Amino acid sequence: MTDLITRTTELAMSVTLAYVEPGDTVVDATCGGGQDTVALARAVGPEGQVLAFDIQRKALILTEARLHAHGIDNVHFVDRSFAEMSSHVPGGSAAAVVFNLGYLPGGDHSITTTAETTIEGLEVALRTIQRGGIVTVVMYDGHDAGKLEKARVLDWAQALDSRKFHVAYVSMLNQQNDPPEILWITKKK
């Protein structure tokens, strides 16, 4: 058994996958190195689809290579910002949207998600998910842009209408070195 509480990204994905069924449409808003994309593609199966967004060509190439190594071909790549999600995914159609904020590991650390575009993307994601769907956000605040982004995202999430959304936030309280934190938002049925 995996100790999910020590593996933040795996914990985030395990909860997300509870909302995903074969045949669903899901969005990896920040495909990065492709780990989330692979997990989502496996969950929706060959009859489902994953839309993988990233603004960095390097991330799309890494993800494509990882998918190829796993024999996965149900992913559509979008070389655009997640804030443009509504141009590629009809409103109310996705079972899940996943965000992994910050910068691409091993990439240019000056290219990061920002509070403004992330909140814009989250607004779009809430319109993109179906009733009963989930938005998952893994946040990293070990860099200055990440600290501001997390604070703004949490303020935004706390203000969401409780009649329409459930919001949960997980922080690894006693861990050192700025461990990732998780935000989940579900749209009420």
The enclosing domain of 142 has a CATH number of 3.40.50.150
Question: What is the residue type of 183?
Answer: L
2-50 pLDDT tens trace: 677 778 889 999 999 999 999 999 999 999 999 999 999 999 999 999 9
Question: What is the residue type of 69?
Answer: A
Characterize the bridge pairing of strands 25-28 and 94-100: parallel
57-107 pLDDT tens trace: 899 999 999 999 999 999 999 999 999 999 999 999 999 999 999 876 777
Domain residues for the domain of 44 are: 4-187
Task: Report the range of poorest mean pLDDT among 49-53, 86-90, 150-154, 174-178.
Answer: 174-178
Token couple for 118: 């992330």
pLDDT band at 127 (very low <50, low <70, confident <90, very high): very high
DSSP 8-state class, residue 156 = H
- DSSP reduced 3-state for 148: helix
Domain count, the chain: 1
Closest to 28 (Cα-Cα) out of 106, 97, 125, 89 = 97
